Amino acid sequence: MFEGVNLSIVIMVCLFALTVLLVAALGNWLFSGHGTVDRRLREIQGLAPVEKKKDKTPTEDGPFKVKWLKPVANLVVPDDRWKQSRIRASLVRAGHRGEQAVSVFYLSKVFLALLLPLLAIIPFVVNPTLVGERLWVVVALVVAAVLGFFSPDIYLHHKEEARRQHLAEVFPDVLDLLVVCIEAGLSLDAAIKRVGEEFRHASQDMSDELLLSTLEIRAGKARNEALKSLAERTDLDEMQSLVSILIQAEHFGTSIADALREHADDMRDLRIQTAREKAAKLPVKMALPILLFIFPALFLVILGPAAIQIYTGFIGKM
């Protein structure tokens, strides 16, 4: 079953089939797009009859997605709506808001679960003597398949954590600028929009989240719901506290500027306490690297010459 010749033929056939599928998909995407552009140009110039436009559904957003991505995604995307919503929430928190983000995520899991075993089996094809070790072949295939299947989850978790950390770092500056805008006489909606525009160059992620909340409010969504959505997308405890304060201030009719000022002071104190906590943990974290790397180097520099002289003296006497 694991003879070198037969295994090489199987691998070559699989790689050939994969290459054909990729080339066919790329060609269909490229030529279909140009055909659509040419047809629209001829319609504008009056060289071709204008077809009656049909109601375009949200899924009809490109030949590649309709003909290739959507049918294949239906085979791998789970039917559980709760699981889809959980993955979509993680993708949104990581910054991926595309309509086909969930489909691309599950397709990448399946694609990598098939691709990495093919790459892992290449050493056995190059060196047929290794094929005799069937246990190592099976272990390599299983480890590669598992790693490929869970790689998108690891990447998504890392991207989500990195984006959350970045938003947490710029949040105090956002809060201070929001307080300045409110005290300058702007309304809450105008202040959120202005802060989002000002942070376009400093933090694109935070700017996108604030401007998206502004668009939701302008589209007719209730302000409380838009602010709650903002807190869910950022997944920050500080943002949750800010949204709660804004909702309570609007509900009870208190001054939003005073509430934001008090909250900004609390957040500033919390930021100072967090910095002091990290500084207090630093000596404990540095103890192990000092014992393993710095002390041996110091002992070598200080005691090395003395040890050489002592050894030389004993050799001379002997």
**Residue % of the chain over a pLDDT of 70:** 70
3-state secondary structure 79-137: CCHHHHHHHHHHHHHCCCCCCCHHHHHHHHHHHHHHHHHHHHCHHHHHCHHHHHCHHHH
Query: How deeply is 279 buried, as exposed, middle or buried, from its count of CB atoms within 10 A (0-12, 13-18, 19+)?
Result: exposed
One-letter amino acid identity for 170? V
Q: Which of 16-20, 197-201, 265-269 has the lowest mean pLDDT?
A: 16-20
> Residue 183 sits in a domain of what CATH number?
1.20.81
* Domain, as residue range, for 40: 1-50
pTM of the predicted model as reported, rounded to 2 decimal places: 0.65
8 Å CB contact between 263 and 246: no
- pLDDT of 55 > 50? The answer is no
| Structural domains in the chain (count) | 2
The answer to whether residue 106 sits within a structural domain is no
pLDDT at 121 over 60: yes
Of the candidates 190, 174, 197, 196, which has an alpha carbon nearest to the alpha carbon of residue 260?
Answer: 174
- Residue 35 within any structural domain of the chain: yes
Other C-beta atoms closer than 10 Å to the C-beta of 120 total 19
Please report whether residue 283 resides in a domain. Answer: no
> 192 vs 84, 126, 206, 263, CA distance in Å?
30, 60, 11, 16
Residue 151 counted as domain residue: no
Who wins on pLDDT, 51 or 244? Answer: 244
Report if residue 249 sits inside a domain: yes
Kindly provide the residue ranges of all beta strands, DSSP E only, lying in the chain, ordered along the sequence: none
What number of other Cβ atoms are within 10 A of residue 282's Cβ? 9
Distance CA 282, CA 66 (A): 54
Within 8 A by CB and 6+ apart from 49, the residues are 43
Tell whether 74 is covered by a domain.
no
Q: Is residue 308 part of a domain?
A: no
Structure token pair of residue 119: 């790459």
Looking at the predicted structure, is the pLDDT value of residue 48 above 60? no
Confidence band for 158, pLDDT divided at 50, 70 and 90: very high
Q: Of 230, 255, 271, at which residue does a domain stop?
A: 271
Q: Using one digit for the tens of pLDDT, what is the confidence trace for 202-231?
A: 888 899 999 999 999 898 888 889 888 888
Residues 6+ apart with CB under 8 A from 50: 43
Question: Does residue 127 sit within a domain?
Answer: no
Q: What is the pLDDT of residue 129?
A: 67
